[in-house]
Amino acid sequence: MRKRLDPWKGKHLSSGGRLVLTNSCLSSLHMYMMGFYLLTGGKGANNNTKYHMAKWDMVIRPRDHGGLGILGTKLMNECLLTKWI
């Protein structure tokens, strides 16, 4: 993972570039594991809640509806697990 992220480090990446990086990392590396295991909702280390800068509903909303267009991990996990039924 670190080898893939090294070229993307630094302040040389625009916000659009960061979205491309996020979508590509989520879709390539984690999709494989989400096809085998049911992901549980976590709260971080020591079960501490985290403060988020944006609402998750807004983050996973499609771009043409005002969101960032990032795939929803819970829904994608459920979809990938249904192939085993």
What span, in angstroms and rounded, lies between the C-alpha atoms of 48 and 9? 28
Percent of the chain scored above 70 by pLDDT? Answer: 71
Query: What is the domain count for the chain?
Result: 1
Residue 64 is predicted with a pLDDT of: 93
Tell me, yes or no, whether 8 lies in a domain. no
For residue 85, the enclosing domain spans 15-38+54-85
Tell me, yes or no, whether 7 lies in a domain. no
Residue 11 is predicted with a pLDDT of: 63
DSSP state of 37: S
Q: How much is the mean pLDDT over the chain?
A: 77
Tell me, yes or no, whether 80 lies in a domain. yes
Tell me, yes or no, whether 79 lies in a domain. yes
**What value, to the nearest 5°, has the Cα angle with vertex 61 and ends 43 and 64?**
160
pLDDT per position as a tens digit, 42-75: 666 666 666 777 788 888 898 899 888 887 888 8
Tell me, yes or no, whether 67 lies in a domain. yes
Q: What is the pTM of this model?
A: 0.49
